Structure 1
Amino acid sequence: MTVALASFSKEKLYPPAFDPGGLVYFGPMFDFVIGAAPDGSLSNETGALEAWEPNDDASEWTFTLRSGMKWHDGEDVTADDLVFTINEFASPDATCGGVCGALAANLASVEAVDEHTVKMTLKAPDVNIPAQFGPIEGSIMLLPQHHVEKVGWDGFESDPLGSGPWKFVSRELGQSISYEANDDYWNEGHQPKFKKLDVVLAPDQNTRVAMLKSGEADLIAISPDQVPVSQSDGFDILTVENTVFSEILFFKSSDPEELTHKLEFRKALALAIDMDEVIEAFYPEEAGKRTSGDAVPFSETTLGHDPDLEPYPYDPEEAKALLKEAGYDGSTIKIWTVTFPDGPEQKDVNEAIAGFWSKVGLKVEIVQSEFATLKEQIDKDGFDPAPGVAVTGFPTSNRPSVLTNMQSLMMSPDAGGSYRTYWDPKTADTLHAELAKIVDDATRDERLREINRELYEQYWSIPIAMKNTLYAAGDRIDGWEPISGISKVLSYETLRPTE
């Protein structure tokens, strides 16, 4: 089976330094510490753990490793491997978004109790640990201590080892990575249906389409505008549902000097956009839909969802009045535009949004940037985004717990925040600390719903679309059962061949 993708990200095989795009590349060889079912819920039927239990306030966790797991070299998976994994993901070299940093800051100790039991103690309670250890929110993969001690992480680049459904065979940097089926995989229901898997890099969509038509590829990533074309060519459209939502975020809105620190200005930007027209123009039914009325980072599939909240209306006249009230002086509003594999349409969406903003009197400039460049600028204390700057269509994983996204998008850098986009980060820090102690799901859900309503009234960001990740399949593929809610864990082993 050959899968053609638009991006491999960094092509590094050190899991604790991955960004989400890297999972499509090296993820097939690993087990996640905690698994997930196809509907996106955490599951003890997949993943390395068969059980995970907190104490009364989630400041201590007991993990039970399933028995019978083997590394690809035949060695047994043990509790020492799990201890090694947690320590490695909490090490200074780990750069996996906000999850690694948060784990590093909060980990007090981790130790093996016996061959299959590990106890982890935290400095502060964190009820969200299972979500962070699973594939959807944190993607922490089980690592082989014995092999890393033998070859080192540098050697791991040429000789990687996992315990997952696929065994590494070879790779060509900038071109492809190849696997073979792990016929001894512990989970018989997830043993691959194909003997071999080639994942090929093809950044240009026209190239991927040509590969599918010629039979050179069996499954390809496509953008929303390719859906009707692929269907007319006779290919099946396969989707991973509710993977990311896109939204407008406001850099450094916590700075009182920024226009986006003002509620009136943020609200004006929201009311100025005819979002229904944007959705109709760029998102066919298979590709996604307008987000629900929930505030970012809530959605119909998260805790705290409030079905009574309506999407922000289109009201350009009120937007004009609010701009005047906010004291807008004609300054240039920069839209930093980053095109991700999950958002190939984003440049066009941003241009449409810029058009609506221009109609209400805003002076708008679109700045095209690579994500790494933008993130480097964000991380600098002296980053000056210019008045009212927004990054639009930022593809954010649809994380059910909400807490991981709250930390990444809203909290202060000192508390593990990554993007500096919430107007009151200290309050976000306090809210996250409060929520992290609420072990009971129903109680936490109700508190999150209250926060959802508060954020909705603050217009702290502007929701755009809830998206599906799209693929076109050739006639050798009969079906697929990926995990809903995550675009980077493609569960290649669940692809079914045509009889």
Structure 2
Amino acid sequence: MRETSDEGERRMNTVVRPWCAGAQKSTQGGRRRTACSDAIKLIVAVAVTVAAIGLPSAAYAGAGPAAEKPTGELRLAMAGIGVMRPIPWQETVFGKGYLLLLYDWLVGANPDGSLSSANGIAEHWEMSDDRLTWTFRLREGIKFHDGTDLTAEDVKWSLEMVTKPESIAGFAARLRATIKAIEAPDPYTVVIRTHKPDLWLAQDLSMAAGHEAAILPREYYEKVGADGFAAKPIGSGPYKWVKGLAGSVIQLEATAKHWAEGVPKYQTVTYRVVPEESTRLAMLRTGETDIIGASRERVPELQASGFNVFVKERGSVIGCYFHQQWEAVPVRDKRIRQALNLAINREEIANFIFAGQAKLMAMYPVGSFAVAAGADPELKPYPYDPAKAKQLLAEAGYPNGFETTIYSYAREDIPELPRLVEAIAGYMAKIGVKLNIFSTEYPVARTKRMTGNMPGHISCLGTPNRSNPGDLLTLMYTLHHSSSRFTDHKSPELDALLEAAQAAGTEQEVKRLIGDLHRWLYNDYATMPIAEASIPFVANSKKITAWDLGRTLYDNNDRDLIRR
């Protein structure tokens, strides 16, 4: 559309008059004012003439400063980054950080975890009066990195893929239990019909939750296949894939301009897996990397050395699982689970493993934030009582203890995890229980868990501290419902509680049932809670001056790092 003469004059006035005003302050008399007035008339006349014959005006064609462009490289060195296969249904939730740069999610989110219509594919969503249908209206004009349009068919297909039985996405079971059908009635509308009311579906399909709602291009994926896509994935996020090697490195390259994030700050972003903390520290000190994950005890010395430290306060809830409790294994007996919990001195762990930067909680994975979601604030951490632990072992038929396996691996959110595992093994040895430490990589342990190859074993993890009832319910369902590939339980009573909470019609009812679930798990000694801790990241102070780590789940608001 061509610019009118009135519009042209207004535009030139905004460019020329401020210069004239500045010039007049330093010039006596009226000569400069007259010159400025003549200049404005001349420039407006030329601009209108140019517009009239269809040529680009100076205001659009380089009269101002050069367009912003991404520059330089951002380098992150972490203990672990998922399985580094950039397909949501073949990647763990711990790879969400790099996926956030590669893809867009169906529903956007703000850094505090609240939902947003500004940075997600859906610009509007609503639940029907009977609470059995969700409708998502997609914004038009979003394109994948190959230039094709992102449409409702891509959303429908992506969600169907991530909820297939073979999906390893953490919350796939929860979504399968909810979603009855997905429809795409037109290119920019998605309709999801549910088996039962679900107040939290939009939350589960947002950037605030996991990675299940990252949207991929159906046509390209089906053309190249899963392996071809993993080698050269295409998304619609602010960065494009350059290369990746599982267990080693992922490198991304900026797009010219992202529809929501604008022009990215860095030309390239490189994620590198470096399990050894000493190596990460050396890389930071020598300038080989810009950001690292560091243990809590290292924070004071690194701050004193001039590095910036960014902390996700009480961000991780840390604990251990007793796997496959339904099988003929010692931890099937509640008295054994109670004994193992009483054997641990959590105060010592908080002080000496986590450098005093941890707070005890009553039940993993329910942290202090969960009180806002309905968790019971009256529950207290299990006491340290090794004498009672030995008594319980004897009552359960194991007066001389027993032997099992505990897994050890590096994790981004818990650099101290190998030392934590050693400490737990030490406490258990004092009551006669021998824990054989199996040192491995997290994806290996996760696969064993999903395939049911951890009978009676123990593994430890950290999970985000949650305050949203929907987020907490999704996690509880994933960890404890008998239909989930990650469950450690097959309890009809527990299943019924989880299903009732999922089908509840009001937030108040969901919170009440979360309180019941919290107490059930606590009284069952279902897991081995350790503590909740803040998560520190250390950065080059000249390069990274600000970073809002946010409160979204399983990521550290990586997009904030690439914003200008």
Q: Report the TM-score, using the length of structure 2 for normalisation.
A: 0.77
**Do residues 393 (structure 1) and 463 (structure 2) align?**
no
Structural mapping, 1:476-495, within 5 Å: 476-488=543-555, 490-494=557-561
Which of 298, 321, 346 is 2:417 aligned to?
A: 346
3-state DSSP class of the match of 1:479?
A: coil
Unaligned runs of 5+ in 1: none
1:301 alignment partner in structure 2: 369
Decide whether the 8 Å contact of 1:271 with 1:316 is kept in 2: yes
Provide the alpha-carbon RMSD of the alignment. 2.9
2:286 alignment partner in structure 1: 214
1:458 alignment partner in structure 2: 524
1:411 alignment partner in structure 2: 481
**Do residues 134 (structure 1) and 179 (structure 2) align?**
no
Using the aligned pairs only, state the percent identity: 30
3-state DSSP class of the match of 2:545?
A: strand
Tell me the distance in 2 between the aligned counterparts of 1:419 and 1:102: 12
Larger Rg: 2
**Do residues 76 (structure 1) and 149 (structure 2) align?**
yes
Q: 1:406 to 1:322 in 2, by over 3 A?
A: same
Number of residue-to-residue matches in the alignment: 482
Matched letter for residue 296 of structure 1:
Y
Matched letter for residue 312 of structure 2:
V
> Could you report, residue by residue, the CA deviation over 1:113-133 in whole angstroms, capped at 9, with x for unpaired residues?
333221112334444423332
Q: Greater shift after overlay, 173-182 or 268-277?
A: 173-182
Q: 1:9 to 1:137 in 2, by over 3 A?
A: same
**Do residues 336 (structure 1) and 403 (structure 2) align?**
no
Structural mapping, 1:25-424, within 5 Å: 25-55=98-128, 58-91=131-164, 94-97=167-170, 99-104=171-176, 107-140=179-212, 141-171=214-244, 175-188=248-261, 191-255=263-327, 257-284=328-355, 288-293=357-362, 295-302=363-370, 303-341=373-411, 342-359=413-430, 361-370=431-440, 371-379=442-450, 383=453, 385=455, 389-399=456-466, 400=468, 401-412=471-482, 415-420=483-488, 422=489
> Could you report, residue by residue, the CA deviation over 1:143-202 in whole angstroms, capped at 9, with x for unpaired residues?
1234334544443234322111223334466653332333432224x7533333222333
- Tell which has more relative contact order, 1 or 2 (C-alpha 8 A, sep 6+): 1
> Could you report, residue by residue, the CA deviation over 1:400-449 in whole angstroms, capped at 9, with x for unpaired residues?
4222222222121xx224142x3x52222211211111132122112211
3-state DSSP class of the match of 2:400?
A: coil
Q: 1:384 to 1:278 in 2, by over 3 A?
A: closer
Tell me the distance in 2 between the aligned counterparts of 1:79 and 1:147: 15
Tell me the distance in 1 between the aligned counterparts of 2:360 and 2:141: 43
Q: 1:292 to 1:202 in 2, by over 3 A?
A: closer
Q: 1:161 to 1:100 in 2, by over 3 A?
A: same
Matched letter for residue 277 of structure 1:
E
Tell me the distance in 1 between the aligned counterparts of 2:319 and 2:263: 37
Tell me the distance in 2 between the aligned counterparts of 1:369 and 1:172: 22
Decide whether the 8 Å contact of 1:480 with 1:496 is kept in 2: no
Matched letter for residue 318 of structure 1:
K
Tell me the distance in 2 between the aligned counterparts of 1:452 and 1:93: 29
Q: Report the TM-score, using the length of structure 1 for normalisation.
A: 0.86
Q: 1:217 to 1:378 in 2, by over 3 A?
A: closer
Q: 1:441 to 1:78 in 2, by over 3 A?
A: same
Tell me the distance in 1 between the aligned counterparts of 2:75 and 2:444: 32
Unaligned runs of 5+ in 2: 1-73
Tell me the distance in 2 between the aligned counterparts of 1:264 and 1:171: 47
Tell me the distance in 1 between the aligned counterparts of 2:451 and 2:231: 34
Which of 487, 510, 522 is 1:444 aligned to?
A: 510
1:425 alignment partner in structure 2: 491
